Amino acid sequence: MRGLPAHVHGEAVRKALVEARPAGASLAQLCRSTRRTPSQVWTGIKFLRRVAVKEGLPPVTHSRSEGFQLSEDPEIWVAYERAIFMTELHRITNVITGIIAPHARRQPSDEWVRLVLEQLGGVKATLEVLTRMER
């Protein structure tokens, strides 16, 4: 199945996820049920995520407990979105504390580093709000 276009892998993954409903499927399960490699399954998932709105599909979500899902439940969508925001919050925090802050301390008058700290500070604040917001 090498060389197949992304939409072919996407359709195979979509069918497997629809069959698994309401449960999800792990990457290994998707590989077995679609007879594709992990790379091909990921290609299919990425394709589905790109075309979800146009195709009228729910988002492809993932959790450790349920695996990948094509769920119609908005609570699952929100939980996945919050998890993504939490991951990005940790990434931005690590960039600020591990890279940008030492730069700022060594060159406090550097216009670039001041701009980066201001902008990333705003992103960090937004992500903090999104991860704490109640539905």
Q: What is the mean pLDDT of each run of 10 residues along the chain (135 residues)?
A: 86 96 95 97 97 94 95 94 96 97 96 96 96 79
Residues ≥6 apart with Cβ < 8 Å to 118: none
**Global confidence as pTM:** 0.85
Rg (CA), the chain: 19
Q: Count of residues for the chain? A: 135
Q: What sign has the CA pseudo-torsion 51, 52, 54, 55?
A: positive
pLDDT score of 19? 95
Distance CA 56, CA 134 (A): 27
pLDDT of residue 135: 63
**Of the options 1.10.10.10, 3.60.21.10, 3.40.1130.10, 3.30.479.30, the CATH number for the domain spanning 6-69:** 1.10.10.10
Model pLDDT, residue 128:
95
